[in-house]
Structure 1
Amino acid sequence: MTATRDHGPLPGLLLALTVGTGLVDAVSYLTLGHVFVANMTGNVVFFGFAVAGVGGISWPATLLAVGCFGAGAFIGGRYGSTRKTHRGQLLAVTCGVQCLLVAATASLAAYAEPERRGTQLAMIALLAAPMGAQNAMVRRLAVPDLTTTVLTLTTAGLFADRTSNQVRLRRMTSILAMLAGALIGGLLLRHSQIATPLWIAAAVHAGCAVTSDRLRRRDAADSWG
């Protein structure tokens, strides 16, 4: 059903969010104690390592990320669940909230002391919650192969499934978008301040929110709502 549904501009916007995910996870993993705020599969594995006492991983940080991610997914899943919400509106509202929380995290990184453990935990919480909301939103949008945070099934499908070139291109583009975000985030962390990739991620979310809101007001938006 979702394979033939008109998704309008959603694929492009979700690819932009995938780049944002790479930026955010680059900050969380490389500067906040080897914890992901978007990839919960990695955190579950890391939590096992932490409990085993190997890898120098903090189990409180990992557990905090999972808990805040879950809280964000719970709240995001409730938005629009009791009434029909245009998919463009759902994307715009979610991205708007994400922009505010990621910008708040960037402000912490810029003006607080990101080396302090308390600041790092606050940053993890502020980043994990909006990423959970993003995942809840993406599940409701149901655009094939564009999960924006997890690439395991996308990568498997790229090699395992017999599909059209269009589907292969979409899957490959999703993988490259995540790679681009991680690469840019890593380079910025290497040559700039911690806050820089977060400001860029906030700008990505703001751009997606504004673009989605404007496009959903057009008559053609009825076909992909």
Structure 2
Amino acid sequence: MGVPVGARWEVGAFLGLTAATGLIDAVSYLKLGHTFVANMTGNVVFLGFAVAPGSGFRLGPPVVAVLGFVLGSLLGGRAARILEAHPRRWLGVAFGAQAAVLLLCGLLVGAGVLHESGGTSYVLILALAACFGLQNATVRHVAPKDLTTTVLTLTLTGLAADSVLGSGRAASPYRRLGSILAMLAGAAAGAFLLQATTGWVIALAGAVVAAAAAIFVLAPAG
């Protein structure tokens, strides 16, 4: 299914979602027990590491992240089934809900209700992972294959394999390079801002996702 906005608006929205992923994975990995809330491949590997005594990895954070991600993915799949006949409403609802939860999490962290360690950190991991499960479940229906917003393995593979030095197809590299740079910029900005604040980094990611939701609802089709 295509996105009901012009191509430039579409690419901008998906690159924004990719940058938000970088911001939040900076929070989750650097502040929430070395786990990811958007990249589940990493969490499966961390679960394997945690089995070995003395590895320095804990079972709790990646387990909670995987559970939250699955929950968000289920909700995203349900939303797609119910609303896909109305794509603007569907994308607006899905990404609007994601943005609202991120902004709420940022507020609660800033207010000291949720913390980076202890019991409430698991609530935060669960909520953030659910946000990105929802994002992934939605994006997989509508995004071009080189704008996945969370996983760059296939993006890097395609960039190299389809280049002149690879298969020779010389496919346009710009969107793939944009995805890589967006993730890099989000992660770098997150790591830098985390030296001062965690709540505002989460809130910033929420604002970026809210902007993407607004694009899908309001941007022109052509």
Q: TM > 0.5 between the two?
A: yes
Question: What is the match of residue 133 of structure 1?
Answer: 134
Matches within 5 A, 1:29-178: 29-82=29-82, 84-112=84-112, 114-161=115-162, 162-164=168-170, 166=172, 168-178=173-183
The 1:124–1:85 alpha-carbon spacing in structure 2 relative to 1, beyond 3 Å, is same
CA distance in 2, matches of 1:15, 1:53: 39
In structure 1, distance between residues paired with 2:82 and 2:67: 24
| AA matched with 1:135 | N
Flag as ranges the 4+ runs of structure 1 deviating above 4 A. none
* 2:22 matches 1:17: no
Cα offset, 1:100, TM superposition: 1.2
How far apart are residue 9 of structure 1 and its match? 2.5
Partner secondary structure for residue 145 of structure 2: coil
1:196 aligns with 2:197: no
The Cα shift of 1:82 comes to 4.8
Deviations 1:99-141 (A, max 9, x none): 1111121122111252441121111011000100000001110
Do the aligned residues in 2 keep the contact of 1:35 with 1:61 (CA within 8 Å)?
A: yes
Counterpart Cα distance in 2 of 1:97 and 1:28: 20
- Report deviation, 1:196: 1.6
Quote how far apart the aligned CAs of 1:84 are. 4.0
User: For residues 206-225 of structure 1, what are the structure 2 equivalents within 5 Å?
Assistant: 206-215=210-219, 218=220, 220=221
The Cα of 1:51 is off from its aligned counterpart by 1.5
Bigger mean CA offset, 41-50 vs 72-81? 72-81
Larger displacement relative to structure 2 (84-93 or 180-189): 84-93
**Letter aligned with residue 187 of structure 2:** A
Deviations 1:119-166 (A, max 9, x none): 211110110001000000011103120000000011011111234452
Q: Would the aligned equivalents of 1:106 and 1:198 in 2 still touch at CA under 8 Å?
A: yes
Distance in 2, matches of 1:148 and 1:106, equals 21
Displacement of 1:81 in angstroms is 1.6
- Identify the match of residue 182 of structure 1 among 179, 187, 210: 187
**Tell me, what secondary structure is at the counterpart of 1:130?**
helix
CA distance in 2, matches of 1:213, 1:17: 15
Note the aligned Cα RMSD (angstroms). Answer: 2.0
Sort the Cα spacing of 1:97 and 1:117 in 2 relative to 1 into closer, same or farther, 3 A: same
Q: How far apart in 1 are the matches of 2:209 and 2:49? A: 32
Shift of 1:75: 1.0
Paired letter, 2:205: A
Identity %: 45
The letter of the residue matching 1:139 is: R
Q: Which runs of 5+ in 2 are unaligned?
A: 163-167
Q: Which runs of 5+ in 1 are unaligned?
A: none
Letter of the 2:209 counterpart: H
Q: Deviations over 1:33-74 (max 9, x none)?
A: 000000001000001001123432221211110011011001
| 199-208 or 82-91, larger mean C-alpha shift | 82-91
* Kept in 2: contact 1:108–1:123 (CA 8 A): no
Q: How many residues align?
A: 213
Aligned equivalents of 2:102, 2:83: Cα separation in 1: 28
Matched AA of 2:176: R
